[in-house]
Amino acid sequence: MTEITTEKARIGAPSAQPFINGFTEEGESLSPINSTESKAPLAGASAKSHSHGGGVGIPDSSRAGRLTSYNLADFKPLTGMEEDWRFTPLKRLRGLHTDALTGTAPEVLVTAPLGVLVETVDRNDNRIGSAAIPEDRVSANAWENFTEATVITVPAEAQVADEISVLITGQGTEASAQHIVIEAKKFSKAVVVLDHQGTAVVSQNVEILVGDGADLTVISLQEWHDDSVHASSQQAKLGRDAKFKHIVVSLGGDLVRMTPSARFTATGAEVELLGLYFADAGQHLEQRLFVDHSVANCKSNVLYKGALQGKNAHTVWVGDVLIRKEAEGTDTYEANRNLVLTDGARADSVPNLEIETGLIEGAGHASATGRFDDEHLFYLMARGISEEVARRLVVRGFLNEIIQKIKVPALEERLTAAVERELAATNN
Amino acid sequence: MSTLEIKDLHVSIDTEQGTKEILKGVSLTIKTGETHAIMGPNGSGKSTLASTIAGHPRYNVTGGTITLDGEDVLAMSVDERARAGLFLAMQYPVEVPGVSMTNFLRTAKTAIDGEAPSLRHWTKDVKAAMAQLRIDADFTQRNVNEGFSGGEKKRVEILQLELFKPRFAILDETDSGLDVDALKVVSEGVNRAHAEGNMGTLLITHYTRILRYIKPDFVHVFVDGQVVEEGGPELADRLEEEGYDRYAKGAGAASIAAAAAAAQA
């Protein structure tokens, strides 16, 4: 495979911030940042100020300095110049960043095995805000506008074998807001599938709480109709020894922007963030994830794989991993792989790794964008394999790595079929 | 008995400097059971001939014909040619990401035969063929050619040759870059396939070394896009001693061709 490798590392912080004590180009001696007040699980020091970002001593360019707030007014109107919006075509957000989100929210239908508690609550419920604070304007806009939330609770020690299916059906193109809370209480085990279908223009906040020793898998599947716009902030907070697997699968929709994050509150927890996306002509599929290693001895592993085909198919993957000073013993790896199938498609890939302590098990990142080119095709066809089958072989093989990790047989079959459909639909 | 017939083949490629003619009227007839060696210096058009027979899109046929038992090969797509029984062992096999060797071999075999091979026999055949070519069993789990060394890639090409059982095998410098041991292993594979009696072989090589292991019935010398001399295995021996220099000297390829033709007449 012809590999065009784009790797950008940001270890430590830029040297252009001389006002910060103790910075060196190598990013060592960064203690002033985290020594005092960033024990908060939800965000950096800025969370406490509830306003204009960049807590004391935190450079704007560090992920720790990102503004977080429940108030829409704290976020400036978007210009498209912001680091976290620079790849997103704002015009196609259909007002998610500018309008009051008063449209009908997508309908939520939860099918859960016995023992799982499903509630619809109003916005004053005390569980709201327990795992997340909006990190961008679109997320804050949803927070400001949602009227009721779905809360799914897996009781302590419950071992739920069948997946909890959350069917989310769009109700049209009026800009809307949605809020979902998923809590797996301590020592429980469950799989939740957020299954997005139909037509929607929606900004969504999903709060995920993984209790001590709990094992939770959340799969967010975007099979929207082509006219849909979906921004989804899915923030997880992990307890001690918790295991969390998050899988993004984005196939349908005009613009889908997923911002999953995982934050550790106690030692021994593990997260696995996986993603699969397949962009066709004109689609914009964006994923920006954040793993915040703020406590010692936690693990994270990130793998996103994407295929692109058709004119102006655009995918964006930005992976921010932050290892704070106190997160000794961290073990983390993140990777993104893209396979460009035709001319005219564009894959942006930016892995960011910030390391503030050297006392870690391991930290790595990788990104590669390859092209399925005429030589691959020729090789396979010269062995009697038709062009259509050749293309399918390559893409199926490439994306299967993620599908196989889902471990929900019915869903794996469905996704394999969906990938085949993607290939058939736009096979030139 | 099959016949692969190439008649007055003219092939050009598009370059930045414009169209460049590489093959300038090549004629060649290969029958089942025959081994033809095509030899020539670098840039003489040997590999172009191989790629053109297989149907690589880079090469434009501007004149002449290629037929397989009378069927127009040039009218076939790349995969149709393979299914018709043509096999090109490539000089530089490409790495195909995401596709395991197992999956690839089975898919190709199914495409070529028109039906899926019986699973039990197939697995056995693959294992046996791999063992004979001294390819590690774990290669089947790896992606096609991904991370294989040059020698491993060539062995895997011959593995496919043995498994797919083509009517005509075109070996494009399969010997280049191989050490003597690997060369022997690869040659044995070709000889095994040939010994089954249903295959004609077009062996393209720069060196005479491989001809110690694979005995050609005919030797064709390529210079500047044309066959300038043809003969039996003794011609290879002569090339071994004299090299290609004598073709490069003197009045050029065309006159040598004319002289050779006159000598034959």
Average pLDDT over residues B53-77: 97
d(CA A211, CA A184): 6
Q: List the beta strands (DSSP E) in A253-345.
A: 255-264, 270-279, 284-293, 299-308, 314-323, 331-340
d(CA A254, CA B145): 37
For position A29, what pLDDT does the model report?
41
If you ran DSSP here, which 8-state letter would residue A159 be given? B
Q: Is residue A226 part of a domain?
A: yes
Q: How many residues does chain A have?
A: 428
Ranges of residues in chain A with a pLDDT under 50 are 1-55, 427-428
In this prediction, residue B27 has a pLDDT band, given cuts at 50, 70 and 90, of: very high
- Nearest Cβ partner of A382 from B88, B98, B144? B88
Tell me the nearest-neighbour CA distance from A426 into chain B, angstroms. Answer: 20
Burial (0-12, 13-18, 19+ Cβ within 10 Å), B192: middle
Answer yes or no: are the C-beta atoms of B84 and B170 closer than 8 Å: no
Q: Is residue A354 part of a domain?
A: yes
- Nearest Cβ partner of A386 from B88, B96, B111? B111
Render B54-104 in DSSP notation, one character per residue: HT-TTPEEEEEEEEETTEEGGGS-HHHHHHHTEEEE-SSPPP-TT-BHHHH
Q: Is residue A67 part of a domain?
A: yes
B128-164 pLDDT, tens digit per residue, is 999 999 999 999 988 899 889 999 999 999 999 999 9
| B contacts of A399 (beta carbons < 8 Å) | 98
Q: Is residue A428 part of a domain?
A: no
Domains plus CATH for chain B? 3-95+166-264 (3.40.50.300)
CB contact (8 A) between residue A380 and residue B98: no
For position A48, what pLDDT does the model report?
38
For position A24, what pLDDT does the model report?
43
For position A392, what pLDDT does the model report?
84
Cβ contacts of residue B245 below 8 Å, gap of 6+? none
For position A31, what pLDDT does the model report?
43
Tell me the nearest-neighbour CA distance from B208 into chain A, angstroms. Answer: 27
For position A419, what pLDDT does the model report?
86
For position A49, what pLDDT does the model report?
40
Tell me the nearest-neighbour CA distance from A216 into chain B, angstroms. Answer: 29
Q: Is residue A411 part of a domain?
A: no
Helix (H) or strand (E) holding B180: helix B180-195
Answer yes or no: are the C-beta atoms of A254 and A226 closer than 8 Å: yes
In this prediction, residue B245 has a pLDDT band, given cuts at 50, 70 and 90, of: confident
| B contacts of A381 (beta carbons < 8 Å) | 55, 77-79, 82
If you ran DSSP here, which 8-state letter would residue A41 be given? S
Which residue did the predictor score with more confidence, A24 or B99? B99
Q: Is residue A390 part of a domain?
A: no
Q: Is residue A331 part of a domain?
A: yes
- Nearest Cβ partner of A385 from B79, B81, B87? B79
| A contacts of B79 (beta carbons < 8 Å) | 381-387
For position B10, what pLDDT does the model report?
98
CB contact (8 A) between residue B96 and residue A379: yes
- Nearest Cβ partner of A398 from B98, B104, B144? B98
Return the structure tokens found at A301: 């592993």
Show the domain range for A160.
2-375
Statement: residue B70 has pLDDT above 80: yes
Give chain A's domain count.
Answer: 1
CB contact (8 A) between residue A381 and residue B78: yes
Answer yes or no: are the C-beta atoms of A1 and A371 closer than 8 Å: yes
Read off φ and ψ for residue A15, nearest 5 degrees.
-75, -5
Q: Is residue A408 part of a domain?
A: no
For position A32, what pLDDT does the model report?
43
ipTM over 0.85: yes
CB contact (8 A) between residue B90 and residue A379: yes
Return the structure tokens found at A374: 């005429």
